[in-house]
Amino acid sequence: MTAEPEILFEVKGRVGCVLLNRPKALNALSTDMCARMDAQLVKWAEDDAIAAVLVEGNGEKAFCAGGDVRTLAENGPDNSGPAEAFFATEYRMNARIFHFPKPYISFMDGITMGGGVGISVHGSHRIVGDKTLFAMPETGIGLIPDVGGSYFLPRLPGKLGYYLGLTGARLKAADCLYTGIGTAYVPSDRLEELKGALVEAELGSPGDVDQIIGRFAEEAGDAPLDEFRDLIDAAFGERAVEEICDHLEAIDHPWAGKTRDTLAQMSPTSLKVTLEQLLQGADLEFDDCMRMEFRLVNHLVTYRSDFFEGIRAVLIDRDNSPKWSPASLEEVGRGEVEKHFEPLGDRELKL
């Protein structure tokens, strides 16, 4: 019996429809899925019959829970070629989405993390629903918030992006709208109706897409993040992870204590590299951010970094007790951080 394709493409009306089709794997991205998506976007960008692209995930749980990082980690640092190929393919696809010349609509209804963020957040229309659960949880597995995180996170209001990138905080629909990650909330049970309206419409301009989505969009309610916004902006406005932790320690509020405890569970190396990544990314163009991230992940997969321990603890053994090395922020010196940003020579990402 032939296995179903991991990603499906179909044209309905004037809409190019994409279905991420790995529901049992929460639609996690493989190298082949990224390559096929990238190639299809090239074709649709040049096809005058296609007025917009719509991306959704198969199944009830996830839009896309990320990239298939477990498979990459299982190869180990001595066989980093597959990981390098995956990240290069994925990042080229992310850049294609960012530069896509037509409306690009994502139904982020369900788990949307890591690679799922990269396949949605850079598009023009980001629809969140009742099942949306958004996060960039990479510091908890010894990685960095990639797929363009160094570009979009520092550009969120205030210091929200630094908070999300360092803590891996999980957001639902209202918070996604509050941060600007989502552009509209549509109840989950109306998404199929919205899709029908889009594919049946005579789409003549991007404004037509806005108008149709506007007919279905509703208020998502109060954003929980708003309660802590001043605390977030103050603490995560610091320019060193130790200073962020000290600032949180000085705040007499339960949120600050919980946030400090969360940071204490993350890879110290990942936290320091991530903060430097976001600080640099705030001043870089998108493509330069992707090149920087490619350097970072390539360095992380070519030595026995916390990435391999994080995947073991969270996705393989599932003991959720990673043994980070170095184990403390104080042990991660400036030189240790800077080596992750070193150029790759002829292995630099080509966009």
The values of phi and psi at residue 90, to 5°, are: -65, -45
Among candidate residues 115, 129, 161, 165, the one labeled active-site is: 115
Among candidate residues 16, 57, 67, 281, the one labeled active-site is: 67
Distance of CA 349 to the CA centre of its chain: 19
- 331 catalytically annotated: no
Give residues with Cβ within 8 angstroms of 187, minimum separation 6: 129, 130, 218
CA 253, 257, 262, 263 dihedral sign is positive
Among candidate residues 56, 68, 84, 138, the one labeled active-site is: 138
Total count of residues recorded for the chain: 351
- 60 catalytically annotated: no
> Could you tell me the two tokens for 349?
């990402």
Is the separation of the CB atoms in 212 and 197 below 8 Å? Answer: yes
Residue type at 110 in one-letter notation: G
Among candidate residues 56, 146, 175, 306, the one labeled active-site is: 146
Give the count of beta carbons closer than 10 Å to the beta carbon of residue 80.
Answer: 19
Q: Give 334's DSSP letter.
A: H
- 345 catalytically annotated: no
- 13 catalytically annotated: no
Is the separation of the CB atoms in 44 and 102 below 8 Å? Answer: yes
Give residues with Cβ within 8 angstroms of 168, minimum separation 6: 135, 136, 137, 138, 139, 140, 262, 266
Give the active site residues: 67, 115, 138, 146
